[in-house]
C-alpha cells in the first residue's frame, strides 16, 4: 500500500506556495521519503526577490523594540516546539536525536542573542576637528541595514545555521531570502513558520526550496541582493563569488581542523574531547577534528585510549536516545568517504579501527601514517574519519597543522602557558581552543576562517556588522 507523503509548501514573501515539480526529502537511515518540498523555479526566485525588495523597506522601518519582541517570541515558540523540531532535524538529516536536541537549544539561544543584539547596534561620535579647518564640524556615524540578503545554507546544521543568518538579519532591519540545502529543507521552512507566528511582517523572509545548481545563480547574480551569506563547501563558494558582482560576501566554508596534544596535557580530557570532536554529526561538521598531532612521548598511550573510546561509539538508529552517531547525509557521501580511506590505505596508511560502510552508515574510523599525498591528508573529509600523527614537538605540530589550504579552528591540549601562547600566535586559523578540540563553538563568539575556510565572521553581533554599513553624518556649524 502506498502511503501519501506530506507536501510541504515553501514561503515566498510570506505566502506559502507550492510548485509544479517537487523534491523528495529522504531519511538517509532507511531511504524513507518523509516529505516533499516545491522545486522552486527561477521565476519563483525572481518573485521572492521582488517581494524581498519591499520586505527590506518594511524591515528597515521596524523599530528596535518590535524586532526584539519578534525574535524573543520566536525563541519562545521554538522552545515550545523543541521536541518536534528535534525530530525533524534528526529525520531529514544525519543527526542523532541527542545531537538534534542540542541543535534546537542552540537555535533558541541564537534567536535570543539576536534579539539582545538588536538594541546594541550603535555608532559613535567622530572628532571632525582633528582636521585643520574642520573645527566647527560635529558629527557621528550610525549603522544602517544593507537591504536584501540571500542566505544559502548547508545540510549539517539545518536549523541553527539558518537561525545564524535570519536572526541577525531581522535584528539589523534587513530582509532575507533563505535557500536551504536540498537534502534538509524542512527545518528552515518550520523556522519560517515560527517567525510568522511570532509576528514577522510578510515579505521580510522567504524560504525557497530548490536545487542550488539551478536557482543559486539567480540569487547570487541579482543586483537587488546586497549580500550573499553563504555557508557550505569551498567549490560552491568559489562559484558564488564568481557570479556575485558588486555585493557583500559572507563565506563560511570548510576545513580539516587540527588539534594538538602535548605531553603535559590531561590525556583523558584530550581523548574524550577529540573523540567527540571527530565523530559528532558523523564527522560532518566544519570544525570537526580531522588531524590530531600528538607528541611522541604520549603517542602510544593516547592512541590506545582514543581507539578504545572510538570502539565504544554506538552507531545506529538516529531516533534512539542512546545512539551516538547516525548515517552520513547520503549513501553517495558514505561511498566517497570510503574511497578516500581506501586511497590512504593503498598508499600506506594504517587503519586502527572502523573503515566499514553499510549503506549511508560509515563506522567511526581512525588511521595513522597517512601519506601527505592522499586527499585525507590535505582535503576536507567531512565524514567520521580522523588521522593521528606522532610529532617531535610543538613546532613540528604547528608547521604540519598550518600546511593545508584551510584555517577555520584549531585546538591544543597543554598545561604550559608558553606553549599555548605560541600556538595562539602561530596557528593560522580563525579560532583556537585551549584544552578543547577544534570542535568547540559558542554561538555569540566571532566565527569564521582564513585561507579557503572563508571570508567574514558570523556569531550574531559579528554577522550584524557584516549586514550593516556605517552612514556618516556631519553638521557644519560655521
Residues recognised as catalytic: 252, 286
DSSP state of 5: P
CB 56 within 8 A of CB 174: yes
Binding to ligand NAP by residue 365, rule CB under 6 A? no
Beta bridge partners of 202: none
Which residue is at the shortest CB distance from ligand NAP? 216
Distance (Å) of CA 346 to CA 325, 340, 341, 349, 393: 27, 10, 9, 7, 28
Binding to ligand NAP by residue 232, rule CB under 6 A? yes
**For residues 114-153, which are near ligand NAP according to CB under 6 A?**
152-153
Q: Alpha-carbon distance 259 to 381, whole Å?
A: 15
Binding to ligand NAP by residue 211, rule CB under 6 A? yes
Distance (Å) of CA 54 to CA 47, 63, 148, 189: 11, 17, 9, 21
**For residues 268-297, which are near ligand NAP according to CB under 6 A?**
286
Binding to ligand NAP by residue 337, rule CB under 6 A? no
What nine digits make up the cell of 296?
Answer: 611522541
Of 6-14, 192-200, 208-216, 370-378, which part binds ligand NAP (CB under 6 A)? 208-216
Binding to ligand NAP by residue 384, rule CB under 6 A? no
Of the pair 265, 429, the CB lying nearest ligand NAP is at 429
- Least separation in angstroms between residue 171's CB and ligand NAP is 19
* Burial profile 79-103: b = 16 or more Cβ within 10 angstroms, e = fewer: eebbeebbbbbbbbbbbbbbbbbbb
64: CB partners within 8 A, 6+ apart: 118, 119, 121
Binding to ligand NAP by residue 24, rule CB under 6 A? no
Binding to ligand NAP by residue 336, rule CB under 6 A? no
Residue 439 exposure: Cα atoms within 13 Å on the Cβ side: 22
Q: What angle do CA 241, 256, 210 make, to 5 degrees?
A: 45
SS3 211: coil
Of the pair 145, 454, the CB lying nearest ligand NAP is at 454
- Least separation in angstroms between residue 197's CB and ligand NAP is 25
- Least separation in angstroms between residue 212's CB and ligand NAP is 2
Binding to ligand NAP by residue 466, rule CB under 6 A? no
Binding to ligand NAP by residue 217, rule CB under 6 A? yes
Of the pair 154, 173, the CB lying nearest ligand NAP is at 154
Q: In a 10 Å sphere around its CB, with 0-12 CB exposed, 13-18 middle and 19+ buried, how is residue 133 labelled? A: exposed
Of 38-46, 71-79, 94-102, 211-219, which part binds ligand NAP (CB under 6 A)? 211-219
- Least separation in angstroms between residue 154's CB and ligand NAP is 3
225: CB partners within 8 A, 6+ apart: 49, 148, 149, 150, 177, 219, 247
- Least separation in angstroms between residue 109's CB and ligand NAP is 16
Among 216, 250, 326, 383, binds ligand NAP (CB under 6 A): 216
The residue whose grid cell reads 613546532 is: 395
Among 36, 88, 96, 156, binds ligand NAP (CB under 6 A): 156
**How many residues line the site for ligand NAP (CB under 6 A)?**
30
Among 49, 70, 253, 433, binds ligand NAP (CB under 6 A): 253
The residue whose grid cell reads 518536534 is: 84
154: CB partners within 8 A, 6+ apart: 161, 181, 231, 232, 233
Ordered alpha helix ranges (H), 93-155? 97-118
**For residues 437-456, which are near ligand NAP according to CB under 6 A?**
454
Binding to ligand NAP by residue 419, rule CB under 6 A? no
Binding to ligand NAP by residue 236, rule CB under 6 A? yes
**For residues 168-197, which are near ligand NAP according to CB under 6 A?**
179-182
SS3 167: helix
- Nearest Cα neighbor of 365 from 353, 347, 375 is 353
Among 240, 270, 344, 386, binds ligand NAP (CB under 6 A): 240
Of the pair 101, 463, the CB lying nearest ligand NAP is at 463
- Least separation in angstroms between residue 236's CB and ligand NAP is 3
- Least separation in angstroms between residue 157's CB and ligand NAP is 6
Torsion of CA 256, 262, 268, 273, to 10 degrees: -20
Of the pair 236, 310, the CB lying nearest ligand NAP is at 236
Binding residues for ligand NAP, rule: CB under 6 A, are 152-156, 161, 179-182, 211-213, 216-217, 220, 231-233, 236, 239-240, 252-254, 286, 380, 382, 408, 454
Amino acid at each position: 500500500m502506498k502511503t501519501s507523503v506530506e507536501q510541504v509548501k515553501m514561503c515566498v514573501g510570506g505566502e506559502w506556495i507550492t510548485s509544479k515539480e517537487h523534491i523528495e526529502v529522504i531519511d538517509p537511515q532507511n531511504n524513507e521519503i518523509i516529505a516533499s518540498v516545491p522545486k522552486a523555479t527561477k521565476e519563483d526566485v525572481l518573485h521572492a526577490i521582488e517581494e524581498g525588495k519591499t520586505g527590506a523597506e518594511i524591515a528597515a522601518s521596524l523599530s528596535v523594540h518590535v524586532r526584539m519582541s519578534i525574535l524573543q517570541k520566536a525563541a519562545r515558540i521554538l522552545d515550545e516546539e523543541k521536541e518536534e523540531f528535534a525530530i525533524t532535524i534528526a529525520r531529514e538529516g544525519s543527526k542523532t536525536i541527542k545531537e538534534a536536541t542540542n541543535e534546537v537549544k542552540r537555535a533558541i539561544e541564537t534567536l535570543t542573542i539576536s534579539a539582545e543584539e538588536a538594541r546594541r547596534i550603535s555608532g559613535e561620535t567622530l572628532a571632525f576637528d582633528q582636521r585643520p579647518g574642520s573645527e566647527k564640524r560635529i558629527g557621528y556615524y550610525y549603522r544602517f541595514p544593507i537591504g536584501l540578503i540571500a542566505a544559502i545554507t548547508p545540510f549539517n546544521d539545518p536549523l541553527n545555521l539558518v537561525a545564524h543568518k535570519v536572526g541577525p538579519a531581522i535584528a539589523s532591519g534587513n530582509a532575507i531570502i533563505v535557500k536551504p540545502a536540498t537534502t534538509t529543507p524542512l527545518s528552515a521552512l518550520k523556522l519560517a513558520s515560527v517567525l510568522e507566528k511570532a509576528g514577522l511582517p510578510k515579505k521580510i523572509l522567504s524560504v525557497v526550496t530548490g536545487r542550488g545548481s539551478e536557482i543559486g545563480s539567480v540569487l547570487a547574480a541579482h543586483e537587488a541582493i546586497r549580500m550573499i551569506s553563504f555557508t557550505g563547501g569551498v567549490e560552491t563558494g568559489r562559484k558564488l563569488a564568481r557570479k556575485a558582482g558588486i555585493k557583500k560576501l559572507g563565506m563560511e566554508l570548510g576545513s580539516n581542523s587540527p588539534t594538538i596534544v602535548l605531553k603535559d596535557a590531561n590525556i583523558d580530557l584530550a581523548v574524550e574531547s577529540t573523540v567527540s570532536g571527530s565523530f559528532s554529526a558523523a564527522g560532518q561538521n566544519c570544525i570537526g577534528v580531522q588531524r590530531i598531532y600528538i607528541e611522541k612521548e604520549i603517542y602510544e598511550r593516547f592512541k590506545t585510549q582514543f581507539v578504545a573510546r572510538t570502539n565504544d561509539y554506538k552507531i545506529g538508529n538516529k531516533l534512539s536516545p542512546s545512539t551516538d552517531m547516525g548515517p552520513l547525509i547520503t549513501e553517495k557521501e558514505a561511498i566517497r568517504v570510503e574511497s578516500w580511506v581506501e586511497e590512504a590505505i593503498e598508499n600506506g596508511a594504517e587503519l586502527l579501527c572502523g573503515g566499514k560502510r553499510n549503506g549511508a552508515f560509515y563506522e567511526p574510523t581512525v588511521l595513522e601514517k597517512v601519506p601527505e599525498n592522499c586527499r585525507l591528508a590535505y582535503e576536507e573529509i567531512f565524514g567520521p574519519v580522523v588521522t593521528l600523527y606522532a610529532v617531535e614537538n610543538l613546532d613540528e605540530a604547528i608547521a604540519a597543522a598550518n600546511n593545508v589550504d584551510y584555517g577555520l579552528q584549531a585546538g591544543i591540549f597543554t598545561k604550559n602557558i608558553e606553549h599555548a601562547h605560541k600556538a595562539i600566535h602561530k596557528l593560522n586559523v580563525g579560532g583556537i581552543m585551549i584544552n578543547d578540540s577544534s570542535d568547540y563553538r559558542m554561538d555569540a563568539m566571532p566565527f569564521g576562517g582564513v585561507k579557503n575556510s572563508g571570508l567574514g565572521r558570523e556569531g550574531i553581533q559579528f554577522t550584524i556588522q557584516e549586514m550593516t554599513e556605517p552612514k556618516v553624518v556631519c553638521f557644519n556649524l560655521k
